[in-house]
Copies of this chain bind each other. A is one copy, B any other.
Amino acid sequence: MKEYDVVVIGGSAAGISAAITARRFYPEKSILVIRREKQTVIPCGIPYVFGELSTCSKNLIPDGVLTNNRIDLLVDEVTDIDREGHVVKTTGGEQVRYSKLVLATGSLPIVPPIPGVEKKGVYAIKKSAPYLEEMIAAMDKAKDILIVGGGFIGVEIAEEANKNRDVNVRIVEMLEHCLLLNYDEEFSTLAEETLRSQGIELYVSERAEAFLGGEQVEKVKLSDGKELPADVVVLGIGAKANAELAKKVGLEIGPTGGIQVNRYMQTSDPDIFACGDCAEKVSFYDGTPSRLKLASIATMEARIAGANLFSIRRANEGVIGVYSTILGNTAFCAAGLTEREAVERGYKVITGTAESVNRHPGSMPGAAPLKVKLVFEAGTHILLGGQVSGAKSAGELINAISACISNRMTADDMATFQMGTHPALTASPIAYQLVNAAEVALASER
């Protein structure tokens, strides 16, 4: 029987990061990653295989990240765990003894029980290279592509499906706007304008009620009775924790269906850790269960799990939720609570928005608008969330906001924030959006 100090089940963002972290802090330990897929798809890159990258082969995590870190790899499926004996068993008949086990089994796309969902041409978004290649081929032949769900994955796939193809792309979203779980309305409507300007049709406040046609999908019936043509349907409505193996071996499951973990990412079996989409999460704000699933959260949890396997004790403070995307040339980024979400959670809030070009003077090359909205708790003035739209530097600016949230900075702290500025890189120090948004919020309360 093979024996390893550390066995990691799952080879995507969480599994790889847990293994690398374990290697970093425990150079003498033997580490094995077991994954089902021959090749690991970069999860966040999936929408781009349909357009920009045009093939899944450009969107793979190279196995070098494992071999370079002296991490062994077994491509196989784990079917059972003998917790007592500390042994995992695979489809391929392997038995591997572990000292510590990490479950990083990820998530599965939600497939809603809509009539006709089984028809040919209806796709969920599976993290499987052969499946994604089949989707690309189907899109290449399609005349009408319909995306169910106008969240991040949905809008990104819509935009990519629309690139270099003579197709009609339509999004069906049940809320009043696309991206409304992550942005306040003023950002969502800006995102929608960007999509519409590319010829993408949006059907908001609508549900897909049935997929019509023969063996192959031909039409989608909406809740208002309208029928839209569709030879490819993509279901982009979210994912659920893949906790099947954990359930089977009796590990505790949490309220949202993820593998229950403590702050150290330990499951109910102290020698088994879990991290990433398969693990139960709590909110940074109030500790209540959270359904957030993001690769960046997965790697954060993996760095906690991987470090904690032996002598270290890192703690998970709960998830903030930091998102970035780009539609057309406009980046859309968000961290923490939107104004809408904060109010729904019972906060009294003050908000401030500041917009300015990301260069100074504005005649510097590459100048583009950049808008920041900040949401603070009234009274305490603690930062709850931020949203950014505009220039690509938003992708790192949102991380500055995340740092401010995680440190529970107040609006006054942020108004006197010590930023670096440069004519060719940022707004001027007078107009710097992060600081001015905080000032606007404070002034609104006086």
Q: How far, in angstroms, from A246 to B300 measured CA to CA in the complex?
A: 52
**Does A249 belong to the interface (CB within 8 Å)?**
no
- CB <8 Å contact, A446 and B395: no
Q: Could you say which residues of chain B place their CB within 8 Å of the CB of A317? A: 416
Q: Could you say which residues of chain B place their CB within 8 Å of the CB of A314? A: 412, 415-416
Q: Could you say which residues of chain B place their CB within 8 Å of the CB of A284? A: 418
Closest-CB distance, A39 to chain B (whole angstroms): 13
Q: How far, in angstroms, from A297 to B435 measured CA to CA in the complex?
A: 12
- CB <8 Å contact, A44 and B430: no
Q: How far, in angstroms, from A307 to B415 measured CA to CA in the complex?
A: 10
- CB <8 Å contact, A419 and B361: no
Pick from B44, B428, B442: contact of A42, CB under 8 Å: B428
Q: Could you say which residues of chain B place their CB within 8 Å of the CB of A333? A: 420, 422, 425
Q: How many residues of A contact B (CB 8 A)?
A: 90
Interface 1/0 per residue, A361-372 and B, CB below 8 Å = 101111000000
User: Which stretch from A17-25, A75-83, A137-145 is at the chain B interface?
Assistant: A17-25
Q: How far, in angstroms, from A21 to B438 measured CA to CA in the complex?
A: 12
Given known pairs A44-B428, A409-B403, A426-B396, the reply for A363 and B325 (CB within 8 Å) is: no
Q: Which residue of B lies closest to A444 (CB)?
A: B24
Complex A-B: 22 CB contacts under 8 Å: A13-B430, A20-B430, A24-B439, A296-B418, A297-B418, A299-B430, A300-B418, A303-B415, A326-B422, A392-B424, A392-B425, A393-B395, A395-B396, A395-B422, A396-B400, A396-B425, A396-B426, A399-B420, A400-B402, A400-B403, A402-B420, A407-B409
